[in-house]
Structure 1
Amino acid sequence: MLPVRLDRTRAEPLPAQLAGTVRELVTGGTLTAGDRLPSSRALAADLGVARAVIEQAYDQLLAEAWVETRRGSGTFVASGGALPPAARAAQAHASAHTPAHASAPPTRPRIRPATREPQLIRLDSGTPWIDPRHLAGWRRAWREVSAAVPPRGYPDPRGLPDLREALAERLARTRGIAVQPDEILVTAGSTDGLRQLLGALRPGDVLVEDPGYRAAAESVRSAGRGVVDHPALEPVTGLAGCAAAYVTPAHQHPLGRVMPAADRLALLAAAREADAVVVEDDYDSEFRYDVAPVPALAALDRSRVAYLGTASKSVSPSLRLGWLVAPPEVHERLVRRRTVTHDTPPWPTQRAMLTLLRDGWADKVMRTARRVYADRAPRVAAAMAPHAELAGPLAGMYSTWLTDPASAERARAAGRGAGFDVPILADYCRSARLTGLVLGFGGVTDAELDRALDAIVDGLARR
Structure 2
Amino acid sequence: MDWADFGVDLHLELDAAGGRRSGLERALRAAIRDGRLPPSARLPATRALAAELGMARGTVSAAYDQLVAEGWLVARVGAGTEVSPLRRPAPPGPAPVPAPAPPRYDLRPGSPDVGAFPVAAWLRATRRALATAPATAYGYGDPRGRPELREALAGYLGRARGVLTDPERIVVTTGYVQALVLLTTVLRDAGRPALAMEDPGLPFHREVVRRQGGRVLPLPVDDQGARTGLLGAGDLADVGAAVVTPAHQYPTGVTLHPARRHALTGWARDADALVVEDDYDGEFRYDRQPVGAVQGTAPEQVAYVGTAAKTLGPALRLAWLVLPARLVEPVVEAKRHLDVQTEVVGQLALADLITSHGYDRQVRTVRRRYRQRRDLLLDRLGRRAAVGGVSAGLHATVALPPGGPTEAEVLAGAAARGLALTGLDAHRHHPGAGPPGLVVGYATPPSHAYPAALDELATVLRAAASRR
When normalised by structure 2's length, the TM-score is 0.70
SS in 2 for 1:228: strand
Please give the per-residue CA displacement for 1:210-267, whole angstroms capped at 9, x wherever unaligned: 1112232112111111110121225222231111100000100010101001111112
Residues in 1 aligned to 2:400 and 2:462: alpha-carbon distance in whole angstroms = 12
Indicate the residue corresponding to 1:117 in structure 2: 101
Indicate the residue corresponding to 1:184 in structure 2: 170
Kindly indicate whether residue 456 of structure 2 is the aligned counterpart of residue 441 of structure 1.
Answer: no
Indicate the residue corresponding to 1:235 in structure 2: 227
Change (3 A) 1:414 1:342: closer
Kindly indicate whether residue 208 of structure 2 is the aligned counterpart of residue 219 of structure 1.
Answer: yes
Please tell me the residue identity of whatever aligns with 1:140: R
Residue of 145, 151, 174 corresponding to 2:160:
174
Shift of 1:390: 2.5
Shift of 1:358: 2.8
Question: 5 Å matches for 1:13-52?
Answer: none
Shift of 1:374: 1.5
Shift of 1:430: 1.6
SS in 2 for 1:200: helix
SS in 1 for 2:240: strand
SS in 2 for 1:303: coil
**Where in structure 1 are there 5+ consecutive unaligned residues?**
1-114
Indicate the residue corresponding to 2:400 in structure 1: 403
Work out whether residues 308 and 325 of structure 1, in 8 Å CA contact, stay in contact via their aligned partners in 2: yes
Please give the per-residue CA displacement for 1:133-178, whole angstroms capped at 9, x wherever unaligned: 9321123334456655453531112110010000000011101112
Change (3 A) 1:412 1:269: same
Question: Which segment is superposed worse, 249-258 or 127-136?
Answer: 127-136
Work out whether residues 204 and 243 of structure 1, in 8 Å CA contact, stay in contact via their aligned partners in 2: yes
**Where in structure 2 are there 5+ consecutive unaligned residues?**
1-98
Residues in 1 aligned to 2:408 and 2:148: alpha-carbon distance in whole angstroms = 49
Work out whether residues 374 and 390 of structure 2, in 8 Å CA contact, stay in contact via their aligned partners in 1: no
Residue of 292, 301, 304 corresponding to 1:304:
301
Indicate the residue corresponding to 1:426 in structure 2: 425
Kindly indicate whether residue 350 of structure 2 is the aligned counterpart of residue 350 of structure 1.
Answer: no
Question: 5 Å matches for 1:201-350?
Answer: 201=187, 202=190, 203-233=192-222, 234-237=226-229, 238-239=231-232, 240-339=237-336, 341-350=338-347
SS in 2 for 1:165: helix
Residues in 2 aligned to 1:222 and 1:197: alpha-carbon distance in whole angstroms = 13
Indicate the residue corresponding to 2:375 in structure 1: 378
Please tell me the residue identity of whatever aligns with 2:314: P
SS in 2 for 1:151: helix
Please tell me the residue identity of whatever aligns with 2:425: A
Residues in 1 aligned to 2:144 and 2:453: alpha-carbon distance in whole angstroms = 43
Residue of 171, 192, 197 corresponding to 2:183:
197
Residues in 1 aligned to 2:197 and 2:221: alpha-carbon distance in whole angstroms = 8
Residues in 2 aligned to 1:262 and 1:153: alpha-carbon distance in whole angstroms = 47
Count of residue correspondences? 350
Residue of 103, 122, 132 corresponding to 1:138:
122
Work out whether residues 410 and 460 of structure 1, in 8 Å CA contact, stay in contact via their aligned partners in 2: no
Residues in 1 aligned to 2:152 and 2:301: alpha-carbon distance in whole angstroms = 24
Question: Which segment is superposed worse, 261-270 or 234-243?
Answer: 234-243
Residues in 2 aligned to 1:324 and 1:276: alpha-carbon distance in whole angstroms = 17
Indicate the residue corresponding to 1:129 in structure 2: 113
Please tell me the residue identity of whatever aligns with 2:227: P
Change (3 A) 1:273 1:132: closer
Indicate the residue corresponding to 2:144 in structure 1: 158
Q: Could you say which structure has the larger radius of gyration?
A: 2
Residues in 1 aligned to 2:345 and 2:136: alpha-carbon distance in whole angstroms = 8
Please tell me the residue identity of whatever aligns with 2:166: Q
Question: Which segment is superposed worse, 155-164 or 116-125?
Answer: 116-125
Shift of 1:305: 0.8
Work out whether residues 400 and 438 of structure 2, in 8 Å CA contact, stay in contact via their aligned partners in 1: yes
Indicate the residue corresponding to 2:55 in structure 1: none
Work out whether residues 117 and 313 of structure 2, in 8 Å CA contact, stay in contact via their aligned partners in 1: no
SS in 2 for 1:253: coil
Work out whether residues 131 and 369 of structure 1, in 8 Å CA contact, stay in contact via their aligned partners in 2: no
Change (3 A) 1:190 1:292: same
Residues in 1 aligned to 2:166 and 2:294: alpha-carbon distance in whole angstroms = 17
How high is the sequence identity, in percent, across the aligned residues? 36
Change (3 A) 1:388 1:346: same
Question: 5 Å matches for 1:12-91?
Answer: none
Indicate the residue corresponding to 2:16 in structure 1: none
Residues in 2 aligned to 1:342 and 1:172: alpha-carbon distance in whole angstroms = 28
Work out whether residues 130 and 369 of structure 1, in 8 Å CA contact, stay in contact via their aligned partners in 2: no
Indicate the residue corresponding to 2:457 in structure 1: 456
Residues in 1 aligned to 2:434 and 2:156: alpha-carbon distance in whole angstroms = 39
Please tell me the residue identity of whatever aligns with 2:250: H
Indicate the residue corresponding to 1:75 in structure 2: none
Indicate the residue corresponding to 1:57 in structure 2: none
Residues in 2 aligned to 1:174 and 1:132: alpha-carbon distance in whole angstroms = 21
Please tell me the residue identity of whatever aligns with 2:228: V
Shift of 1:460: 1.4
Shift of 1:121: 4.2
Please tell me the residue identity of whatever aligns with 1:236: T
SS in 2 for 1:198: helix
